[in-house]
Structure formats: structure tokens, C-alpha cells
Amino acid sequence: MFNKKEKDMEKQKLDIIKKVMMLDTKAELETVLKNVSDAMGREFDLENQEEQEFKKWKAKKDSEVVDEITF
């Protein structure tokens, strides 16, 4: 199901959740929430950038003339 890297990441996520559950102050929770929101934004921006680069690559590939071999 998961490879080793994915298993390690899932374990790390659970470890983070456990530690967040130990926080007791609103200020610390707000800090964690801000950091998580920022990280999610960076990941979204990266995925969006990769998608745009792929679309440009595909459009360029589609516009290239391909010589067809006839048999």
C-alpha cells in the first residue's frame, strides 16, 4: 500500500498531531495553525506551478510537427 517514505511521512504526521494535542495555550495553537496554513499554501502554490509548467510543455509538444512514418 505505502512505500517506506510514505509510511515515514504518515508516522511523522501522527507524531505532529499527538504533540499538538499536548498544547494548552490558545497562542501556541494559533501559531501552529498559522504555520500549517502557510505550509499548505506553499504546497498549493508549488502544485499549481507544476501544473502550469506541464500545460505549457504539453501545448508545446502538441504544437510540434511530428513526421509520420507510413508503412
Residue 69 phi, psi (nearest 5) = -95, 125
* Amino acid 69: pLDDT: 62
Judge whether 56 lies within some domain: yes
Our count of domains for the chain comes to 1
* Amino acid 14: pLDDT: 97
Judge whether 8 lies within some domain: no
Judge whether 37 lies within some domain: yes
Judge whether 45 lies within some domain: yes
Judge whether 67 lies within some domain: no
* Amino acid 7: pLDDT: 94
* Amino acid 65: pLDDT: 60
* Amino acid 71: pLDDT: 61
- Give Cβ neighbours of residue 10 (< 8 Å, ≥ 6 apart): 2
Judge whether 52 lies within some domain: yes
Judge whether 7 lies within some domain: no
If one counts every other C-beta atom within 10 angstroms of the C-beta of residue 26, the result is: 8
Taking the C-alpha atoms of residue 64 and residue 58, their distance in angstroms, rounded to an integer, is 10
Give the range of the structural domain holding residue 38, as residue numbers without chain letter. 24-61
Q: Is the dihedral of CA 50, 54, 56, 60 positive or negative?
A: positive
List per-block mean pLDDT (blocks of 10 residues) for the chain, which spans 71 residues. Answer: 88 97 98 97 97 92 68 61
* Amino acid 39: pLDDT: 97
